[in-house]
A and B are shown apart, each in its own frame.
Chain A
Amino acid sequence: MISESILEGQRLRLRPVQPGDLPKFAEWLADPEVRRWLAALHDAPMLQDEIEWYEDSRANPDNVLWSIETLEGQLIGTVELRVVPHAQRAELGIAIQDKSQWNQGYGTETVRQVLEYGFEELELNRIELTVDEENARGRRCYEKCGFTEEGLLRQHRIVEGEFGNTVMMAILKQEWVR
């Protein structure tokens, strides 16, 4: 589902995805440098793919999806929680798709907001994610937010024609510091 909760932080707002956001996503995801770290994408999505993704997310009651924007209203990416029913667990997926906004701590601020929502509102016990072994920026961000590495998934992906390993990370509610 598209989240109906608006989460406002110091610099960022997480708000429902709107159809008007989709052309921007398609434009940003056409860039291989942006797609390099996104495990869910194989090829550059067309606008039609983004519309289907949006409709699927709306229809899935176990996915909570937000657009990320600055408090001034500038769209920069998306974040979602894929909740596993009956397990008090969710998988986190985040993409700061506007690469001119990388390295400003926006990912960290977003993850912290989503952790608070997941542990407090959804009463989850565990939030997990997978990240490309070579995505040093992403791994540092998740560690700062309290995630622990749990293992290495060998040859998990094919990235630009080569095998890529994936790191499994998770944070438990008892480890979470607001």
Chain B
Amino acid sequence: MTVAPEVRIEGSLVRLRPPSAADVHHFVRWYSDPEVMYWLHMTEGPPATEPMEKERIGTARSDPSQMLWMIETNEGRVIGNIALLQIDLVHGRAWLGVTIGEKDCWSRGYGTDATRLLLHYAFENLGLRRVQLITDVDNDRGIRCYEKCGFYREALLREHRLRHGKPLDMVQMAVLRGEWSAIDGRR
């Protein structure tokens, strides 16, 4: 499968662009910040290092089953990243992962704008039918964002991951193309 790796997408608050080697330091900083990591699956993993994050970008660029973008404000400030993972064109589905790594940019609609842009790309350009994600059960900000973008809660995954050594429930959510079109058409 080939997807255009160099695609850029413009939204109302943010734009998405492919990552480059120069972005490594953003990832290292975000993924070693305890407040950012608190909400991420890899809370229990080793802290981010430059070689690890270099590899993440390299893999995203070479692996045809994933696409990774940097999220920039319209002023050009890099504030996070968003990705489609395990893209499966046979079943028409993919996983979505989004991180706003700059904490002063939380709760300002950037994640919602980026997610909408990516859903548009996934459904219209890649022809996917279903985009799914998992998030922490207590991540109210994230869940609200995903619901605004058309995601439904499908499953409660009990004690799905650890956060600081303690089991934590997660929610699995998904949006189907038809559901998203209904919302996208109203905007």
| Interface residues of A, Cβ cutoff 8 Å to B | 42, 85-89, 125-126, 128, 148, 150-158, 168, 170, 172
Q: Are B90 and A87 in contact (CB under 8 A)?
A: no
Specify which chain A residues have a CB less than 8 angstroms from the CB of B91 in the assembled complex.
156-158
Among B92, B155, B159, B162, point to the contact of A151 (Cβ < 8 A).
Answer: B155
Q: Are A150 and B45 in contact (CB under 8 A)?
A: no
Among A85, A87, A154, A156, point to the contact of B160 (Cβ < 8 A).
Answer: A87
Q: Are A87 and B157 in contact (CB under 8 A)?
A: no
Q: A86-B162, A87-B161 are in contact. Are A152 and B155 (CB under 8 A)?
A: yes
Q: Is B132 an interface residue (CB 8 A)?
A: yes
Main secondary structure of the interface of B (DSSP, over half): strand
Q: Are B159 and A153 in contact (CB under 8 A)?
A: no
Specify which chain A residues have a CB less than 8 angstroms from the CB of B162 in the assembled complex.
86-88
Q: Is B54 an interface residue (CB 8 A)?
A: no
Q: Are B45 and A172 in contact (CB under 8 A)?
A: no
Q: Are A158 and B157 in contact (CB under 8 A)?
A: no
Q: Are B130 and A150 in contact (CB under 8 A)?
A: no
Q: Is B147 an interface residue (CB 8 A)?
A: no
A164 to B, closest residue via Cβ: B91
Q: How far is the CA of A157 from the CA of B176 in the complex (A)?
A: 12
Q: How far is the CA of A154 from the CA of B132 in the complex (A)?
A: 10
> Quick one: which of B152-171 are within 8 Å of A by CB?
152-162, 167
Q: How far is the CA of A158 from the CA of B172 in the complex (A)?
A: 20
Specify which chain B residues have a CB less than 8 angstroms from the CB of A128 in the assembled complex.
157, 160
Q: Which 3 A-B pairs have the closest CB atoms?
A: A151-B155, A86-B44, A168-B155
Most A-side CB within 10 Å, residue of B130, B153, B160, B162 = B160
